[in-house]
Amino acid sequence: MPMDQAPNETWHEGMEVIAQYNFQGRSAEDLPFQKGDLLVILRATSDRMWYKACDARGREGMIPANYVQKRKVVTLHAMPWFHGKITRQQAEELLRPREDGLFLIRESSNYPGDYTLCVCHGGKVEHYRILYRDNQLTIDEEGFFKNLDELVKHYLNDADGLCTRLTRPVTKQGDNFVTVTPDEFKSGGWVIQKHDLHIGESIGKGDFGDVFKGTYKGQAVAIKQLKDKDRGEQSFLQEASVMTSLRHDNLVRLIGVVLSDTIFLVTEFMGKGNLVEYLRSRGRSVITKKDQINFATDTCAAMEYLESKNLVHRDLAARNVLVADDGTSKVSDFGLAKFGDFSQTGQKFPIKWTSPEALRENKFTSKSDMWSFGILLWEIYSFGRVPYPRIPLTDVVMHVERGYRMEAPEGCPPEIYTIMKQAWEIKPEDRPTFKTVLGKLNNLRAVTV
227 is in an annotated binding site: no
DSSP 273-287: -BHHHHHHHH-TTT-
What is residue 188's three-state secondary structure?
Answer: coil
Alpha carbon 273 to its chain centroid, in Å, reads 19
What is residue 120's three-state secondary structure?
Answer: strand
DSSP label at residue 26 = S
219 — alpha (psi -120 to 50), left (phi > 0) or beta?
A: beta
List residues with catalytic annotation: 315
> Rounded to the nearest 10 degrees, what angle do helices 289-308 and 366-381 cross at?
170
DSSP 322-371: EE-TTS-EEE---TT-EESSEE--S----GGGS-HHHHHH-EE-HHHHHH
| Residue from 265, 269, 276, 282 nearest 299 by CA | 276
438 — alpha (psi -120 to 50), left (phi > 0) or beta?
A: alpha
| Residue from 84, 92, 264 nearest 177 by CA | 84
DSSP 38-83: EEEEEEE-SSTTEEEEEETT--EEEEEGGGEEE--PPPPEEETTB-
Alpha carbon 245 to its chain centroid, in Å, reads 9
DSSP label at residue 408 = P
Residue 388 CA to residue 401 CA, distance in Å, equals 14
Distances (CA, A) of 7 to 108, 188, 395: 46, 15, 59
Binding residues: 224
Binding residues for ATP: 224
